[in-house]
Structure 1
Amino acid sequence: MEKAKFKYSAQEGILELEGSEEFVSKHFESLTDLIRIISRHVVVEQHQHANARETSEAVINASVSSEAKEEKNSQTSQTVADVQKEGIAQYPNYFSEINGNLKIVSNIPGTSVKSKMTNAAILFCYGSKLLGDEMVASKDIRVVCEEHGCLDSPNFSKVFSDRTTFLSDGVKGGNKNIKLTFQGEKKARELLESAQS
């Protein structure tokens, strides 16, 4: 059995897989999307090899005014916002941002009310993640289901019982915060890709 190894470093954060070729290949496929997302949000700086360079850089950084730092933070925030908007821009037939709120602007796929509710939750959570919101309030997903005419109120909370797709926190019977698992994100991409083809 051949051994394989995969190593990734987002500025020495390092993610390393080692094992049989089958093991590494299987996990590499599931991690590529995660690595892409991390790479978009991590600014990797060049390592400085000479101490003199590091010292002069520290002096320069110390002399930067607070106004310049605020401007840099503002530019960084703008860049992150652009990346997030670019995320939903990949799916203009599905997502739109209206008055700062994510909207699903296409029909929700599914053959039953339950499958449509589930798909609405998956798509809304994924779109929210593309906008930078990892967690989504279940009440917001409920509104999406109402807007698309696929809300089955007595069974709404059962949609989130699938732990392979959703992670949730909150009180039973109360408002919960919902997040997609990696498997849930994969389902969202499959739904979006099938709609585009």
Structure 2
Amino acid sequence: MSHSEAKLHLSLEDGVFEISGSELFVSQQIENFKEIILEALKNRTNTAGSSEERKPPAADPIEEGEKSGHGFDNKSFPRVLHIEGKVVKIIKKMPGANNAKKSVNTALAYLWGQRSVGVEGISYQDIRDLCQNQGCLDSANFAATMQKAREYIIIEGKKGSSVKTCKLTLPGVERAEELLEDLNGA
């Protein structure tokens, strides 16, 4: 059975939002982000000509047990993440058979923690630095490792640019919670 590759590239003046993968995956992601895309296009049309830099609003933190806008429970993983205000620190080594898997797990855990305090877009460089601090950074292959995790992590920004951000996809939130639950219980 052959699966076609599909790609969506949305620029909004080089803010970029790119999804690629199987047709099914791209269709699912478009559906997941449909409202956000339409709102961004609407805002872009309404503010055409404005030179103000537009950033997406920060997500509001949710209380323990309360459901997020995506329908996920806000959970706490105190044996893995130390969260104080909007500062998130990973306090446990991330598992993985190799540095690539450890790097992806580190990114998932950190992005989940940041998302839980209301911060959606995290600097690509911050993720890279965190992987170095965790002792799992393979600097020669880091970009390729993160690109391979596109089912879980969306990287926004131009290729080669130092201004890139990372966000979790909905499957990424689920995977991060599975990982954190396992580590929190261990």
Aligned residue number for residue 178 of structure 1: 166
Residues 86 and 117 in structure 2, CA contact (< 8 A), matched pair in contact too: no
Aligned residue number for residue 62 of structure 1: none
Structure 2 stretches lacking a partner, 5+ long: 1-31, 33-59, 67-72
1:83 aligns to 2:71 (yes or no): no
Residues 61 and 116 in structure 2, CA contact (< 8 A), matched pair in contact too: no
Q: How many residues in Structure 1 have an aligned counterpart in Structure 2?
A: 119
* Structure-2 separation of matches of 1:102 and 1:177: 17
Aligned residue number for residue 196 of structure 1: 184
CA RMSD of aligned residues (A): 2.6
Give the % identical residues. 31
TM-score of the superposed pair, with normalisation by structure 1:
0.53
Match for residue 113 of structure 2 among 96, 105, 127: 127
Match for residue 168 of structure 1 among 134, 155, 168: 155
Task: Summarize the alignment of residues 25-104 of structure 1 with structure 2, pairs less than 5 Å apart.
Answer: 83=63, 90-97=76-83, 100-104=86-90
Residues 108 and 120 in structure 1, CA contact (< 8 A), matched pair in contact too: yes
Aligned residue number for residue 42 of structure 2: none
- In structure 2, do the counterparts of structure 1 residues 88 and 107 end up closer, same or farther at CA, with 3 Å as the change threshold? farther
Structure number with the higher helix fraction is 1
Task: Summarize the alignment of residues 135-174 of structure 1 with structure 2, pairs less than 5 Å apart.
Answer: 135-161=121-147, 162-174=149-161
Q: CA deviation at 1:196?
A: 2.8
* Structure-2 separation of matches of 1:98 and 1:196: 17
Higher relative contact order (CA 8 A, sep 6+): 2
Amino acid across the alignment from 1:115: K
Amino acid across the alignment from 2:161: G
Larger radius of gyration: 1
TM-score of the superposed pair, with normalisation by structure 2:
0.56
**Aligned-partner SS, 2:141:** helix
Aligned residue number for residue 47 of structure 2: none
Residues 122 and 188 in structure 1, CA contact (< 8 A), matched pair in contact too: yes
Residues 88 and 131 in structure 1, CA contact (< 8 A), matched pair in contact too: no
Residues 88 and 127 in structure 1, CA contact (< 8 A), matched pair in contact too: no
* Structure-2 separation of matches of 1:92 and 1:166: 23
